[in-house]
Amino acid sequence: MSVEYVKVERADFDQVMVPNYAPAAFIPVRGEGSHVWDQSGRELIDFAGGIAVNSLGHAHPALVKALTDQAQKLWHVSNVFTNEPALRLAHKLVDATFAERVFLANSGAEANEAAFKLARRYAHDVYGPEKFEIIAASNSFHGRTLFTVTVGGQAKYSAGFGPKIEGITHVPFNDLAALKAAISDKTCAVVLEPIQGEGGVLPADKAYLEGVRKLCDEHNALLVFDEVQSGMGRTGELFAYMNYGVTPDILSSAKSLGGGFPIGAMLTTSKIATHLAVGTHGTTYGGNPLASAVAGAVLDVINTPEVLAGVKAKHERFKVRLEQIAAQYGIFTEVRGLGLLLGAALSDAWKGKAKDVLNAAEKEGVMVLQAGPDVVRFAPSLVIPDADIDEGLNRFERAVAKLTQA
């Protein structure tokens, strides 16, 4: 019997996989829209979205068509060549953003790795080798490579892997005075998430980002926005920076960009891009025709007034109901975020128990996330029907009621 037809169960994970994850007790096997079914045929409503990845839900027909059409043409050619889907995607990203140049990768970590390397290379070439320091925010998250976990402001992800990359400083998020005290003419870049995702779904203040932009300009430092989680319509604008009117020099995107197909992108200006000349950086699979074709279809669907306005309306639907649940059960103190990236901060009595909320929700047939131990996170499909929002929140309320009454 071929391996494709061998029966597998959750217990197989513990036998054959590296134990760096602790997956749920059930295995999803099929999805349609905002619904998922597990091996037993049980149906769940998906408010997790593959951690803000499944921007158009599961098996969206436009994405299925883009993938199957491309699969019959060309799968991979490497960057010895370019390909049509990659060029079309890059044109679409340039047309829709501040950017003039695009680098395609496979993940958010790769997009950020490219962004950080470019920032250092640009500063080295233009200002000299002493201008290499990077300032990032405490409690940030930028990926799992050694460079990106070092820039990320969470020690739990970077400890135990040997010497860290030098020249990286962390300051509190949304604290302009702290950044002003830390920045200098040795700073090559300031790296920020416009909304801290893993750090608790914390949006930046508009005045803060405006002040950061000004400080970067004064010190000839590049402003890098990590929009891996906040981008591609997640906030109700195509990218979160558009909500603030603050334009970065470099932007990273992934997650929702592929709608579930692995792809990442780094966006920048022509002036800055010239410093990644031939041979300075690369990736075997970046700009893969399959991934680029899917991402192009994702962008076509999301970057419309109807979908983006719908994200903002669905945000209100979520927030009103979650605040009602908070008021009735006392489990949350605040519902925050933008668009369909929301965080419900747990009250003092429930701090540290976000995983308990996740597990209770799953038992009631709804998939949610956490953003650290103190915040329950919601990142559903950007086109989730209102009826699914209501039913999912009904299930979520039942889970909260059982938790708080136990």
Q: Which two three-digit tokens encode residue 257?
A: 């960009």
Question: Alpha helix (H) ranges present in 219-269?
Answer: 241-244
- CA 73 to the chain's CA centroid: 30
Residue 98 is among the residues annotated as catalytic for this protein: no
Q: Compute CA distances 102 → 105, 147, 271, whole Å.
A: 10, 21, 12
Whether 229 has a binding-site annotation, put simply, is: yes
Collect all residues with Cβ–Cβ distance below 8 Å to 387 and sequence separation of at least 6. none
Cross-strand pairs, 168: 134
Nearest-angstrom CA–CA distance, 144 and 151 = 10
* DSSP string across 4-41: GGS---HHHHHHHS-TT----SS-EEEEEBTEEEETT-
Q: Are 367 and 49 in contact (CB under 8 A)?
A: no
Q: Is 228 marked as a binding-site residue?
A: yes
In angstroms, the CA 105 to CA 285 distance is 7
State the DSSP H helix or E strand holding residue 106, giving kind and residue range, or none if neither. Answer: none
What DSSP character marks residue 198? T
Catalytic residue among 47, 103, 132, 141: 141
Q: Is 144 annotated as a binding-site member? A: yes
Is 173 annotated as belonging to a binding site? no
> Is 239 annotated among the ligand-binding residues?
no
Catalytic residue among 226, 249, 374, 388: 226
Residue 283 annotated as binding site = yes
N-term to C-term CA, the chain = 47
Do residues 280 and 121 touch, judged by C-beta distance below 8 A?
yes
CB atoms within 10 A of CB 313: 11
Rounded distance, CA 87 to CA 92, Å? 9
- 227 assigned to a ligand binding site: yes
User: Among 338, 322, 334, which residue's Cα sits nearest to residue 392?
Assistant: 322
Amino acid in position 147: F
Give phi and psi for 229, each to the nearest 5.
-95, -30
* 3-state SS class at 105: strand
Does 108 show up as a binding residue in the annotation? yes
User: In terms of residues, how long is the chain?
Assistant: 406
353 within 8 A of 363, measured Cβ to Cβ = no
Given 132, 147, 249, 255, the catalytic residue = 255
205 is annotated as an active-site residue: no
- Counting beta carbons within 10 angstroms of the beta carbon of residue 3, is it exposed (0 to 12), middle (13 to 18) or buried (19 or more)? exposed
* Residue 145 labelled as part of a binding site: no
**Is residue 255 annotated as a catalytic residue, yes or no?**
yes
Binding residues: 108-109, 141, 144, 226-229, 283-284
Active site members: 141, 226, 255
Binding residues for pyridoxal 5'-phosphate: 108-109, 141, 226-229, 284
Binding residues for N(2)-acetyl-L-ornithine: 144, 283
